[in-house]
Amino acid sequence: MRFRPAQRTDVPALAQLVRACDESQRAWAGDVPIPPPEGEELEWELRFARSGAWIHLAEDAGAVVGVVAFAAGQASRTDRTTVPGLAHVSAVFVAPDHWRRGIARALLDQAETAMREQGYERAQLWTLEGSPAEQLYSALDWERDGRRDHFPPMGLDTVAYVKTL
């Protein structure tokens, strides 16, 4: 397993990774719609464009099998005011055929170290409610904070997790 900073040339592979993860949601959420690949590539371009974006990935035999991304946290989706000391983890994805190998844990550990080095005091992330990822975040000392939202592309609810760094 190799970990490295992501580059814009990785966008197609990152979009494929997210699509595989989105498709895996059907195992627990039923026949949910899957966002189109073009939209996911745009999301990755936006992540790269964010000020202070930190995006690292995991490779296995040259294939992208995991990714984590964070940037400065904002007040909300509609209020883009930066919240001092808050990092927002916008992506944690691991290829379903690589689950339970410690990749997400290693990526999050690296991200949390980078957040602390950059002066962040706390972090937040959102995940699909009921997803297997919730167990991972709880095991890594992330806590639900009661906020909820809706993810229209898949028609599923999301919940917020926070962690003091």
Give the H or E element holding residue 22.
helix 11-24
- Answer whether residue 23 shows pLDDT above 90: yes
pLDDT tens by residue, 82-110:
999 999 999 999 999 999 999 999 999 99
Q: How confident is the model at residue 76 (pLDDT cuts 50, 70, 90)?
A: confident
Is 67 within 8 Å of 14 (Cβ atoms)? yes
Amino acid identity for residue 112 in this structure: E
Residues contacting residue 63 through CB under 8 Å, at least 6 positions apart: 13, 95
Greatest Cα-to-Cα distance within the chain, rounded to the nearest angstrom: 42
Tokens coding 134: 């919730």
Give how far Cα 43 sits from Cα of 47, 83, 94, 117, 148, Å. Answer: 6, 21, 17, 26, 21
pLDDT tens by residue, 40-64:
999 999 999 998 999 999 999 999 9
- What the chain holds in terms of domains, given with CATH numbers, is 2-125 (3.40.630.30)
pLDDT tens by residue, 133-153:
999 999 999 999 999 999 888
* Mean pLDDT of the region 98-125: 98
Q: What is the CA radius of gyration of the chain?
A: 15
Is 115 within 8 Å of 70 (Cβ atoms)? yes
